A and B are shown apart, each in its own frame.
Chain A
Amino acid sequence: MVREMSAGPSRRRLAGALTALGGVTLLAACAEDAPQDTWQPAGENAQRIQDLQWWVFAIAGAVGLIVFATIAWVSVRYRDRGQPIPRQTHGRPALEIGLTVLPALILVGVAIPTIGTLMDLSRTSDTECVVNVTGQQWWWEVDYPPQEGCGGFSEPIVTSGQMVIPTGTKVLVRGTSRDVIHSWWIPRLNGKRDMVPGRVQTVRLQADRPGIYAGQCTEFCGLSHANMRMEVVALDPADFETWKANQLADYTAPMEGSLAAAGEQVFISQCATCHQVDGLVNADGVPIIAQPQERVFAGAAPNLTNLTTRNTFAGATWDLLTPTCRDDVWNASPEEFGAAYLAGVSADCLNEVDLREWLRNAPAKKPMYADPEQLGPTDGLNRGMPYLALSEAQIDQIIAYLLERQ
């Protein structure tokens, strides 16, 4: 934060003072920074980076100040006042060598802790729990493989947009991509890592306190790159068990004759081709398996089995909660956060405005590649969700159905 305030030669001294005062104090003190602030670590890994870069920024700032002060002094002291033409000296090698060795030594001092931190942050041997993420245009799929870590998983859980992890646990994120390169970044928990198709990349995450940690895809991934977000939700281990049990609970069909039951039928005819809802069966009682590869180029669509346990949708770009309810969750104290989050999305809290706009015409809300006339290069497959021409009545029914996906 040293450099943004320094300007041209005339403002140098002012800049120096501002930098020293403003940069340091404001940075450390300001508690209402953006949710993706890189200077507010909330876990071990991000803290390691913070401890390292603090010194580097300080050294860089100090060097900068010395250079600016020197130039300022020189330009005042040696301006042309009619003094004689100076001696035509070509330099002093001893001074030159000294001024070469000095920065080299400083950099060696920076390099050593850099390497140490680097190696620690790339370790995968001491992690306690694995979560997989898979990027595709323009959302993240999250799945938990069967394992003993994180309290044990007997069968896989597939969700999207929000990754739920237990606090105080060293989580290893293994990520890849189904189409182009995306990047997984939760600034308050760790640095970013590109998710490259064909490769499995790892990121360590650890959250000290319960809460929501925002992130965003940072590798340019096409049309809606700006609308590809993700959140890590940290719950304390007991709450995490509750969340897990809820995710694995059996499908509850809507009451017959209810609005949601009609919604189920609309969902089956309109949505289930791509979106998996585990436990959903057709009229013959045969489980419905989504076939996203028939409609979507990446071959995947978010699993909606427990949509309203999450509080975002469409690549975590929009909230499923109204602004008030959202604030209640985001600003909840660490003790109350678990309960607030696990309450899911109630009918009162549902952000119907954005959800309805989305269901009415998804590509109009989030730029996607779904114009049937432009699908030649992908053999007619969409990138993103197409326009479905749902009637308002159908949208009501679907929303009623989705509200029960808790």
Chain B
Amino acid sequence: MAIIERPVPATSVGPALPTVTPSSSLGVFRRPVAATGWRSWVFTVDHKRLGIMYGVAATFFFVVGGIEALLIRLQLAGPDGTVLSADVYNQMFTMHATSMVFLFAMPMAAAFGNYFLPLQVGARDVAFPRINAFGFWSFLFGAMFVNAGWFLGGAADGGWFMYAPNSGVAYSPSHGIDFWAIGLQITGIASLSGAINLIVTVLNMRTRGMSLMRMPVFTWMILVVQFLLLFAIPVITVALFLLTFQRVFGATFFSVEAGADPLLWQHLFWIFGHPEVYILVLPSFGIVSEVLPVFSKKPLFGYPFVVFSGAAIGFVGWGVWAHHMFASGIGPISVAVFSMSTMAIAVPTGIKIVNWTLTMWGGKLRFTTAMLFAMGLVVEFTIGGLSGVTHSVAPSDTQQTDTYYIVAHFHYVLFGGAVLGFFAGFYYWWPKVFGKCLGERLGKWNFWVMIVGLNLTFGPMHIVGLQGQPRRMYVHTESRAGEGFFNITFWNFAASVGAFIIAISVLLFLINIWHTHRTAPPAPLDPWDARTLEWMTTNPPKAHNFDSVPTVHALDEFFHRKYEDVGEGDEHDLRRVATAEELLAEQEANADHHIHLPSPSYWPVVLAFALPIVGFGVIYNHLIAVVGASIVVLAMFGWALEPSVALDTDYDPPAPDDGPGTELATVGGGRP
């Protein structure tokens, strides 16, 4: 095995010793170095493969959350709906929010971040590849754990905000909330490890010449998001621990009889919960800030303003949590302060909208599907942002909070913001990731159907909310529906129709994927005439991303290598001087030697798998928790003992120096 057969260096004192090689080793201790087959995915530490897996898992939970939404809308399509019982309805809206926020939007952002951030900063992988793999697997196992409640006596039913004391055992006797709290704890570990990973990657692994202010805006926004995660996740971790202790071990953190105050939970939850909103939406802002310049053939207008407004949102986002509590009775002074800070955060958000608009101004616009989705975001997010301003006016908010008006607001922000941004990203980067362009015709259908569905679903909710229908009601009634244009029943029906139109558009997207991968020809190397580094390599990128790590001289490096301004004085005349193919050939000709890449590993997935075992143990039997914890310790040991790079003997048969091996091993591997 690895340790014993280490060759003695020539410099050592004494006679040269022969290498000792073990006859064989147990297969399980060998590194899973396969480059193909399921093992190459399960044990991979490649940021691109992990990014794709994040994306697939997130899409799955998008569909799950979408089905939950459809059931909710079916129940509410008419008055006194009977599709779901009150109990199941409460589980349904709790899990819809949980799925969409924690199991779709966050991992989807992680998918984009994981895949493109290293490419955009010219790195070969993230800083801690095995932690990256661990992050994905703990997300996946945590997500499954959260949903395990469905099959074990009922899912969580306290709303995603899980206000105390309604989250106590007396008010929610099933194990659903236990699964929810511990499962989110596990996905929190994923977010936290991912955050540290990407922060270190950005700060330490940028390529030559890429100063912070030359980074693509997408990378910037992901960086801001990781800092938000780094500080927000610990807060929810504490809150979830308190909740778990209250439920499982009979603690009294939120019990009035014991002198505690239930509002403690609200503060903890929203100190996490509001930055979480920016965690969800900033990645899409980043995507749009990539897509708009490419299809406008212009750099992002006011790059430093966009960057700093993103950072400003990241900071001010910490000072606005109590606007979720304007009706909680926190006192007029607190309300006034948080009202003002909430208005203040509208300014940097507005800057972004203005800059996106001015990026298009004077451009040369190509309305590809990606561009349409990006423009759709600008429009729909503006609607959500403006209704957000009406909430910052606290007295007005006391009329609107906890009604469907709020539901409308944050769906315009999160669907109109985050989801449309993700779709822009899908269409823009699909050829980069899979080597084929998604169909434009189906894509445009996808876009327009989604826009219609989105506005038909969430638009009427403004009316319904202002007409006084509270959220989270499993039925609404004809007797309080009113008459005429603003009839609540009619607009509820309209919203339900809209929800199914959205479902059709998502279906169109899935069909588009299937169709593309069956029939589409390979995509050109640079299909959009893009501007950033990730397009300076093959489609899809090689395992080591770049044959030769590029040196960066300017913002939008790729564009400036392709085009030169030959105009004189104030005259500007941009001429193409190189094609993407030429640039790639040049890079391949100057390939680096000794590329160091980490090897796949068992331990991340083993360690991640042990976490839900601990969770089950906490809920059902503490002995199981001991077993799980023991596996955690063993896996950590195994991880710590494992060299970062696979050794020759890990290959079966052991790879000779010039043997077939794998691409990894040939290019750099870790072979001595």
Please report A residues at the B interface, Cβ cutoff 8 Å. 1-9, 12, 26, 30, 32-39, 46, 48-49, 52-53, 56-57, 60-61, 63-64, 67-68, 70-71, 74-75, 78-80, 83-93, 95-96, 99-100, 103-104, 107, 110-111, 114-115, 117-119, 121-122, 137, 179-181, 183, 185, 187, 190-194, 196-199, 201, 214, 216-227, 297, 319, 367, 374, 376-378, 383
Contacts A67-B357, A71-B360, A80-B366; is A377 near B170 (CB within 8 Å)?
yes
B:462-485 near A, CB below 8 Å: 462-463, 466-476, 479-485
User: Are A87 and B86 within 8 A (Cβ)?
Assistant: no
User: Are A223 and B86 within 8 A (Cβ)?
Assistant: yes
Q: Which residues of B contact A46 (CB under 8 A)?
A: 399
User: Are A90 and B302 within 8 A (Cβ)?
Assistant: yes
Q: Which residues of B contact A194 (CB under 8 A)?
A: 327-329
Q: Is the interface of B mostly helix, strand, loop or mixed?
A: helix
B631 at the interface (CB under 8 A from A): no
User: Are B400 and A64 within 8 A (Cβ)?
Assistant: no
Q: Which residues of A contact B351 (CB under 8 A)?
A: 96, 99-100
Q: How far is the CA of A222 from the CA of B163 in the complex (A)?
A: 10
Q: How far is the CA of A165 from the CA of B379 in the complex (A)?
A: 46
B263 at the interface (CB under 8 A from A): yes
Instruction: State which of B380-388, B428-436, B516-524, B633-641 sits at the interface with chain A.
Output: B380-388
B303 at the interface (CB under 8 A from A): yes
Q: How far is the CA of A372 from the CA of B553 in the complex (A)?
A: 74
User: Are A74 and B159 within 8 A (Cβ)?
Assistant: no
Option from B329, B360, B480 in Cβ contact (under 8 Å) with A201? B329
B290-304: CB near A (< 8 Å → 1, else 0) gives: 000000111111111
B262 at the interface (CB under 8 A from A): yes
Listed from nearest, the 10 A-B pairs whose CB atoms lie closest are A36-B468, A191-B398, A34-B482, A226-B473, A91-B302, A198-B256, A4-B459, A8-B451, A53-B396, A367-B86
Instruction: State which of B200-208, B334-342, B592-600 sits at the interface with chain A.
Output: B334-342
Contacts A53-B390, A96-B302; is A78 near B361 (CB within 8 Å)?
yes
Task: Return 6 A-B CB contacts under 8 Å, by A number.
Answer: A49-B396, A52-B395, A53-B395, A114-B395, A121-B395, A198-B262
Q: Which residues of B contact A34 (CB under 8 A)?
A: 467-469, 480-482, 486-488
User: Are B485 and A30 within 8 A (Cβ)?
Assistant: yes
Contacts A99-B354, A114-B395, A219-B163; is A183 near B86 (CB within 8 Å)?
no
Which interface residue of A198, A199, A224 has the most chain B CB atoms within 10 A?
Answer: A198
Q: How far is the CA of A378 from the CA of B172 in the complex (A)?
A: 10
Instruction: State which of B133-141, B216-224, B401-409 sits at the interface with chain A.
Output: B401-409
User: Are B462 and A3 within 8 A (Cβ)?
Assistant: yes
Option from A56, A197, A217 in Cβ contact (under 8 Å) with B393? A56
User: Are B473 and A86 within 8 A (Cβ)?
Assistant: no
User: Are B301 and A90 within 8 A (Cβ)?
Assistant: yes
Given contacts A35-B480, A196-B329, 18 further A-B contacts (CB under 8 A): A9-B379, A34-B480, A48-B395, A60-B390, A64-B382, A86-B297, A89-B298, A119-B332, A122-B331, A122-B335, A187-B468, A192-B401, A192-B402, A218-B403, A219-B327, A227-B475, A297-B170, A367-B87
Which interface residue of A83, A96, A121 has the most chain B CB atoms within 10 A?
Answer: A96
Q: Which residues of A contact B339 (CB under 8 A)?
A: 111, 114-115, 118
User: Are B389 and A60 within 8 A (Cβ)?
Assistant: yes
Which interface residue of B263, B357, B364, B471 has the most chain A CB atoms within 10 A?
Answer: B364
B:153-170 near A, CB below 8 Å: 158-159, 163, 165-166, 169-170
Q: Which residues of A contact B302 (CB under 8 A)?
A: 90-93, 96
How far apart are A298's CB and chain B's nearest CB, in angstroms?
10
Q: How far is the CA of A222 from the CA of B170 in the complex (A)?
A: 11
Which residue of the partner chain B has the closest CB to A184?
A: B327
Q: Which residues of A contact B467 (CB under 8 A)?
A: 33-34, 36-38
B347 at the interface (CB under 8 A from A): yes
B355 at the interface (CB under 8 A from A): yes
User: Are A37 and B486 within 8 A (Cβ)?
Assistant: yes
Q: How large is the interface on B (under 10, 10 to 19, 20 to 34, 35 or more residues)?
A: 35 or more
Which residue of the partner chain A has the closest CB to B166?
A: A180
How far apart are B558's CB and chain A's nearest CB, in angstroms?
13
User: Are B482 and A378 within 8 A (Cβ)?
Assistant: no
Which residue of the partner chain A has the closest CB to B494?
A: A4
Q: Which residues of A contact B301 (CB under 8 A)?
A: 89-91
B305 at the interface (CB under 8 A from A): yes
Contacts A87-B572, A220-B159; is A110 near B343 (CB within 8 Å)?
yes
Total CB contacts across the A-B interface at under 8 A: 343
Option from B327, B455, B469 in Cβ contact (under 8 Å) with A8? B455
Contacts A1-B463, A60-B389, A86-B298; is A49 near B398 (CB within 8 Å)?
yes
Q: How far is the CA of A144 from the CA of B487 in the complex (A)?
A: 36
User: Are B452 and A7 within 8 A (Cβ)?
Assistant: yes
Q: How far is the CA of A95 from the CA of B556 in the complex (A)?
A: 23
How far apart are B467's CB and chain A's nearest CB, in angstroms?
4
Q: How far is the CA of A114 from the CA of B341 in the complex (A)?
A: 13
Q: How far is the CA of A322 from the CA of B451 in the complex (A)?
A: 44
Which interface residue of A12, A79, A214 has the most chain B CB atoms within 10 A?
Answer: A79
User: Are A86 and B362 within 8 A (Cβ)?
Assistant: yes
How far apart are A109's CB and chain B's nearest CB, in angstroms?
10
Q: Which residues of B contact A115 (CB under 8 A)?
A: 336, 339-340
Option from A8, A61, A64, A93 in Cβ contact (under 8 Å) with B376? A8
B261 at the interface (CB under 8 A from A): yes
Q: Which residues of A contact B303 (CB under 8 A)?
A: 90-91
B448 at the interface (CB under 8 A from A): yes
Option from A33, A56, A87, A196 in Cβ contact (under 8 Å) with B328? A196
Which residue of the partner chain A has the closest CB to B408?
A: A4
Option from B358, B376, B473 in Cβ contact (under 8 Å) with A9? B376
User: Are B395 and A78 within 8 A (Cβ)?
Assistant: no
Q: How far is the CA of A38 from the CA of B461 in the complex (A)?
A: 14
Which residue of the partner chain B has the closest CB to A103?
A: B350
Contacts A91-B301, A107-B343; is A8 near B395 (CB within 8 Å)?
no
How far apart are A44's CB and chain B's nearest CB, in angstroms?
13
Q: Which residues of B contact A220 (CB under 8 A)?
A: 90, 158-159, 163, 166, 402, 471-472
How far apart are B387's CB and chain A's nearest CB, in angstroms?
6
Q: Which residues of A contact B474 (CB under 8 A)?
A: 225-226, 367
Q: How far is the CA of A209 from the CA of B375 in the complex (A)?
A: 49
Q: Which residues of B contact A89 (CB under 8 A)?
A: 298-299, 301, 362
Which interface residue of A4, A68, A75 has the most chain B CB atoms within 10 A?
Answer: A4
Q: Which residues of A contact B158 (CB under 8 A)?
A: 220
Q: Which residues of A contact B262 (CB under 8 A)?
A: 181, 196-198
Q: Which residues of B contact A197 (CB under 8 A)?
A: 165, 256, 262
Q: Which residues of A contact B263 (CB under 8 A)?
A: 196, 199
Q: How far is the CA of A165 from the CA of B640 in the complex (A)?
A: 71
How far apart are B302's CB and chain A's nearest CB, in angstroms?
3
B344 at the interface (CB under 8 A from A): yes
B394 at the interface (CB under 8 A from A): yes
Q: How far is the CA of A197 from the CA of B263 in the complex (A)?
A: 10
User: Are A53 and B399 within 8 A (Cβ)?
Assistant: yes
Q: How far is the CA of A71 from the CA of B363 in the complex (A)?
A: 12
User: Are A118 and B402 within 8 A (Cβ)?
Assistant: no
User: Are B382 and A67 within 8 A (Cβ)?
Assistant: yes
Contacts A36-B469, A193-B398; is A85 near B357 (CB within 8 Å)?
no
B85 at the interface (CB under 8 A from A): yes
B:408-460 near A, CB below 8 Å: 408, 412, 448, 451-452, 455, 458-460
B574 at the interface (CB under 8 A from A): yes
Option from A61, A86, A180 in Cβ contact (under 8 Å) with B171? A180
Q: Which residues of A contact B470 (CB under 8 A)?
A: 185, 216-218
Q: How far is the CA of A60 from the CA of B358 in the complex (A)?
A: 20
User: Are B386 and A63 within 8 A (Cβ)?
Assistant: yes
User: Are B332 and A122 within 8 A (Cβ)?
Assistant: yes
B229 at the interface (CB under 8 A from A): no
User: Are A12 and B379 within 8 A (Cβ)?
Assistant: yes
Q: Which residues of B contact A7 (CB under 8 A)?
A: 451-452, 455, 459
Q: Which residues of B contact A217 (CB under 8 A)?
A: 470
Q: How far is the CA of A99 from the CA of B309 in the complex (A)?
A: 13
B:116-147 near A, CB below 8 Å: none
